[in-house]
Amino acid sequence: MIDWYQQWRGEVEQRRQERERRRLERPLQDRRYFGEETWGASAEHLKAETDEPCLQHLYLPLLRSEKELAAWLGIPLTRLRWFTRDQPADTVWHYVAHSVPKRSGGQRLILAPKRDLKALQRHVLHHLLNHVSVTEMAHGFVAGRSIISNAQPHVGKEIVLNFDLADFFPSITFPRVRGLFLSLGYSFSVASVLALLCTEHEREAFDHDGTRYFISVGPRHLVQGAPTSPTLANLAAARLDRRLAGLGRVQGFAYTRYADDLTFSGDEVAGAYWLLKSVPPIVREEGFVIHEGKTRLFRQSARQVVTGLVVNEQLGTPRELRRRVRAILHKAHQTGLEAQNHDGHADFRAYLQGLIGFIHEANPAQAAPLRAALAAL
């Protein structure tokens, strides 16, 4: 009887030790899965568990494990791990890279997710991120807001002050994105996988022994091209918005942000110069960088422009745009509409309707004669 009991106790102890071994090895497994760079986190974050009351309060999906996350996305866990593995060199890349010219010169890198990854990112956007409120100061990539709502608070002000954030998306790195998901109430593992889904390294192709490898050349960050990036960027900039809005209020200045474009407006010159000194340190504290060459101060005696719209006395589009459309319509009355289609637009009338519609959104009175002239053609 004693021998049987001792054998049973020994088996129980062996099972306990095996469970403890697996528990201690789990961080090492996660470290291999998440990658050395993406693993880094505070001890407090590593202990983070699912905050169900917080998720329920925010009406967010209750995802308590990677398995539940995979089921919510409608894919097997193995496939989720395939999409989110983080390796410095890999033979598979879920993005297509290309560049587009910047208006200010140079090239902007676009990393477009391939079809299947884009579908997962859209699911995260529509069923999770879109349920999280952004600040009222953010106007870019927000439903019901636009460059017009961004410019409206600055109409008729004596001074308009504009700052530009350099490398807006790349400055929002993987740890910051994971921190966002942690703050919503997700556990460390779920927040990590969600952040891996929504960030990526810039990579360079390298061929070796007939195999193409994609080598990471920088930290994981939000990329231009992923459908989740704009909303995550707005959420990452929420504290920046609140601090800058408070800073502006001290001097009687309004504040709005459209993506990486920060605008203040008010009537006191001294307040504007105080903001010129006070804004950059706060921006740095929040993990962003001011593009020094793009800071602008506009007085009302000159043309004041906010996100492409003139705000001096009333909201309107730049005079050059209206003149260009007016000239096209005038010549079209003499030559016909298609003769003025010098850039080869597939539907030139629709193109002009779009320009006039944009002018109408900003100022209906400025658009009315242009719309009538187009209708007469």
Which tens digit of pLDDT belongs to each residue from 17-41? 776 665 544 444 444 445 545 555 5
Architecture of domain 149-167+230-310: 2-Layer Sandwich (3.30)
Query: What whole-number percentage of the chain has pLDDT above 90?
Result: 64
Phi, psi of 91, rounded to the nearest 5 degrees? -90, -10
**Alpha helices of 201-347 — where are they, by DSSP H?**
229-236, 238-250, 269-285, 319-335
Residue 183 corresponds to which tokens in the numbers above? Answer: 């703050």
Please give the pLDDT value at position 256: 99
Q: State residue 47's pLDDT score.
A: 58
Q: Name residues whose C-beta falls within 8 Å of residue 188's C-beta, 6 or more positions apart in sequence.
A: 41, 45, 46, 47, 48, 49, 182
- With beta carbons less than 8 A apart as the criterion, state whether 122 and 246 touch: no
**pTM of model > 0.85:** no
* pLDDT recorded at residue 252: 97
Q: How far apart are CA 235 and CA 135, in angstroms?
A: 8
Q: How far apart are CA 247 and CA 249, in angstroms?
A: 6
Domain ranges of the chain: 42-131+170-223, 149-167+230-310, 319-376
Q: Is 59 left (phi over 0), alpha (psi -120 to 50) or beta?
A: left
Q: What is the mean pLDDT of each run of 10 residues along the chain (377 residues)?
A: 62 70 50 49 63 95 96 97 91 91 78 97 98 97 95 97 96 96 96 97 90 91 97 98 98 98 97 97 97 94 93 90 90 88 87 87 88 89
User: Residues 341, 345, 348, 353: is their CA dihedral positive or negative?
Assistant: negative
Structure tokens at 250: 């001290």
* Residue 298 confidence (pLDDT): 95
- The CA distance from 37 to 279, in Å, is 31
Please provide residue 359's backbone torsions phi and psi, each rounded to the nearest 5 degrees: -60, -40
Considering just the CA atoms, what is the radius of gyration of the chain in Å?
Answer: 27
List strands edge to edge, sheet with 211-216. 89-90, 211-216, 203-208
CA distance 28 to 39: 10
The pairing of strands 203-208 and 211-216 is antiparallel
Q: Which residues contact 40 (CB under 8 A, 6 or more apart)?
A: 175
Closest CA to 229 of 145, 99, 136, 109: 109
45-71 pLDDT, tens digit each: 555 789 999 999 999 999 999 999 999
What pLDDT sits at residue 31? Answer: 44
CA distance 219 to 293: 25
